Every structure is written in structure tokens, then in C-alpha cells.
Amino acid sequence: MKNNIERMSPFELKAAASLASIYGLRMLGMFLLLPVFAIYAERSLGATHTQAGLALGIYGGMQALLQLPFGMASDRFGRKRMIYIGLLMLVAGSFIAAGAHDITHVIIGRALQGAGAISAVVMALLADLTREEHRTKAMAMVGTTIGGTFALSLVISSPLNHWIGVPGMFVLTGILALIAMAWVRFVIPNPRISRFHSDAEATSAKFKDVIKNTQLLRLNFGIFALHTAQMALFLVIPFALLKTAGADQSHHWVIYLPILLGSFVLMVPAIIYGEKKNQLKLVFVSSIALMLIAQLMLSQLIGHLWGIVLSLTCYFVAFNVLEASLPSLISKIAPASAKGTAMGVYNTSQSFGLFLGGVLGGYLSQHYGASAVFIFCSALIGLWLVLAFSMERPPAVRTRLFHVREMAEEHATELSRQLAKLNGVSEALVVGNEGIAILKVDMRGWDEAAVQKLIEGEQENGVS
């Protein structure tokens, strides 16, 4: 019986893997373009750097505007219906961009791609299809998929550009989106019960609490700054590599691959040390400092190949650590009752950063040169470093979810109180109308048996 509790069922594994692939597809449409689009826009479409930046960034802008409304609409109109709508927008936008002969129509296509903002809907459907005790693991699968998609895209983008060109990439994205629609229809199961999940979805009632939390605001600014710098970087680096490497764009993957492999090797010990030794703030702040160093190096060494390689290695080590750490910090810091809303605001901040990075990065590159882009990014990351220094040390907790029977509010409040008194439980929230208990528990040890016993006793007898 214990193994059934601890392991995800084949049904849950299938649902999580399938939805992670759908989520990854959304990111693939953006990531594949990063290493090649700026050069394509300038040489094939006659676009300025500002226009190229807008074309890249508007995807994130539309995501920022629409992903929370899409998620809320799925509570009313159904998960799969909203996913179909979003994927259909991705298909339409991809084919419009593929057939474009000027930058304006590419921008329109990219805006339509981004408008299919199904990320929050996918997470809500994932919550519908997984048991509470396995939801964190299922969401971690999605996060791993995003990181893998980004790394894969940097390596395969240049060869794909050589074989099918940027228009072909848009066509490929559209075809994959059509396949994804069929996958949603015939492979991903329909949830037996579809309901709101406070741990995975945003609600307007909790926005005020999240926005007023200064610790969460620091993290939201962080993910905004991180992705602003990411988008700005890829408006400059492709040109710099073309100029300094003496190699055709189709061979740039040879530069990206060892940098990415090296950065992943270096990031793993940092993440393990931060989590296991409760030194997450030290690792986090150090990574921001390394990111600042990388930006300053790029501002000075952008004209030298080995300077670019060294700078990018520092950049990707820092980027990978920060990208992995930020969601963990959100989970530790956000109130249990507002975790879904906190993640929604966080994801919106990330998307807005992609938009602003594209627009400002393109403008600065066009009017002031590559170094100005990295000086701007250095100032942004420097501000983040100051804010991070002043953040509170995150608690050494992790979130655990348990299924409980649906119950009246007063019973849920009493069970929350009893759970919070148990050894190693720092926060407990029972959401009676969702049938879920959300606990923040001490990473160094907590009395799981006592929690299970209390919940099982309540299931049989009610709260005494």
C-alpha cells in the first residue's frame, strides 16, 4: 500500500509526460528562433534590430497579457477546449509567419503564436489528472522539459536553419502544434473531475496578497530581469559569433554545445549544495553576481571569440542555477493559500521580461551598439543583486500535498490548526471545498506518520 502512495501511477505518468510535451512545444516555438532569427530578419526581411526585437519579444508580451485569463477561462469553459483554442492560434500564427515576406507579417504571426497562452491551462489540467501527493513531482517534470527544450533548441537551431530556414521552422512549429491537438484529443485523458486548484492556479482574490509580499516581489523582479537579459542577449550574440568565429551560422551549435554541457555540469553541485545544506540564498546571490560578471564581460569582450565563449559559459552557469532556484524559492516563500496565484504572477513577470528584452535589446543594439545592450543588462542585473542581498533567508521547507475529504470551512480550519501543531510542520492549510491539505514541512525532518494518522483519522471520524 505504501508503494502505491509514494509512486505515480501509470495513468499519472502518462498524463504528466504528455502535458509536459505540450508545454515544451509552446516553448520550442520561441527557443528555436533565438540563435538564428535576428540574422534572418536583417538579411532576408530587411528588418532593423528594433523590428527584429519586437518580433521576438511580442510572443512574450501576448503571453503576459493572456496566460492568466486563459487559465481562469479553463475553469469555466473546460481545459481541453482552451488548449485547442491556444494550439489553433499557435498553428495560425506559425503559418502566417512562415509565409511572411516582410517583418510586419512576421510580427503579426508571432503575436498570434503568443496569444495562444495555454501554459496555465496545461498546469490546471495536470492538477486535474494527478493526485495531490504527486502533483509537485508532475510539475517538476514540466520544469525539466522546459530546461531540456531550451538546451536542445540552442544546439539544433543552427542545423535546422541550414536545412529548412527560419520559415521552415515556423512550418515545423505549426505541424507540431497540429499533432499536439490530436495528442490532446486521443491520448491525454479527460479528467473525471475538473475543479479549481489553489496550489496550481491563480485567483483574483489572492492577487493583493501576492503583490504586497515584498519577498515575492523580489523574485518576480528577478525572473523579469533574467529573461529580459536573455532575450536581449540573443539579439546580439548571433551577429557577434558570425563576425568573430569565422564560421557559417549553421555551425554555431559547435560553440553552444560545449558551453551548455559545461554549464550543466557546474550547476548541479551548486543546486544540491543550496538545497541540502540550506544555503539557497548564498547560491542564489552568488549566481546573480556571476550573471552580472558575465554581462560586464560581454560588454567589453563582445568582439573576441574566446571572450564570448568565456562570458557565455559564466552566463549559462548562472542562468541555469537561477532558472532552477527561482520556482523553488517561490514555493518556499508564497503562503500556502496563494501558491498558484504566486506562480501565475511569477510566470507573467517572466513573459513580460521576454517582451521588454526583445524591444529594448533591439532598440539599444540598433542605435547604440552591442556593448550598450550588455551595459543595460548589467544595470538591471546589478539592481537585482542589491534586492537579492536584502531578501530574507528562505525557510528550509518543502511543500507536501495530501488528499482529504471535502468538508465545511469550520472543519477545514480546525484540521489546519491540528496539522500545524505537528512536529516539523511550519504551515498547514486545508481547503475543504477542494479536498486538499497543503503543508509546508521541515526539509530536515518531519513527522509524516503523524500527519497521515491525523488525516486518516479525520477521514473516518471527522475533526474532533
pLDDT per residue as tens digits for the range 357-395: 999 999 999 999 999 999 999 999 999 999 999 999 998
Name the pLDDT band for 463 (thresholds 50, 70, 90): very low
pLDDT per residue as tens digits for the range 331-362: 999 998 899 999 999 999 999 999 999 999 99
pLDDT at residue 443 greater than cutoff 70: yes
pLDDT at residue 413 greater than cutoff 70: yes
* C-alpha Rg value of the chain to the nearest Å: 23
202-394 and 397-461 have identical folds:
no
pLDDT score, position 380 = 98
pLDDT score, position 458 = 77
CATH tag for 1-197 (out of 2.40.160.20, 3.90.1150.10, 1.20.1250.20, 1.10.490.10): 1.20.1250.20
Question: Which CATH number does 397-461 carry?
Answer: 3.30.70.100
The rounded percent of the chain whose pLDDT value lies above 90 is: 69
Query: Do the beta carbons of residue 198 and residue 210 sit within 8 Å?
Result: no
- Euclidean distance between CA atoms 450 and 460, whole angstroms: 15
DSSP string, 296-337: HHHHHHTTSHHHHHHHHHHHHHHHHHHHHHHHHHHHHHS-GG
pLDDT at residue 4 greater than cutoff 50: no
Name the pLDDT band for 141 (thresholds 50, 70, 90): confident
Report the chain's mean pLDDT, rounded to a whole number.
91
- Euclidean distance between CA atoms 42 and 49, whole angstroms: 7
Give bridge partners of residue 397 from the DSSP assignment.
442
pLDDT at residue 240 greater than cutoff 60: yes
Classify burial at 402, counting beta carbons within 10 Å of its beta carbon; exposed 0-12, middle 13-18, buried 19 or more.
buried
> Which residue bears the cell 536584502?
390
* Residue 186 neighbours by CB under 8 Å, 6+ apart: none
Among 83, 114, 122, 80, which Cα is nearest to 96's?
114
Among 128-137, 272-281, 348-357, 432-441, name the most confident range: 348-357
Name the pLDDT band for 145 (thresholds 50, 70, 90): confident
pLDDT at residue 6 greater than cutoff 70: no
pTM confidence score? 0.93
Helix, strand, coil % in the chain, rounded to nearest 5: 75, 5, 20
CATH tag for 202-394 (out of 1.25.60.10, 3.40.50.300, 1.20.1250.20, 3.40.50.620): 1.20.1250.20
- Euclidean distance between CA atoms 283 and 321, whole angstroms: 8
List the domain boundaries for the chain: 1-197, 202-394, 397-461
- Euclidean distance between CA atoms 126 and 122, whole angstroms: 6
- Euclidean distance between CA atoms 136 and 195, whole angstroms: 17
Name the pLDDT band for 215 (thresholds 50, 70, 90): very high
Mean pLDDT of 293-305: 96
pLDDT score, position 54 = 98
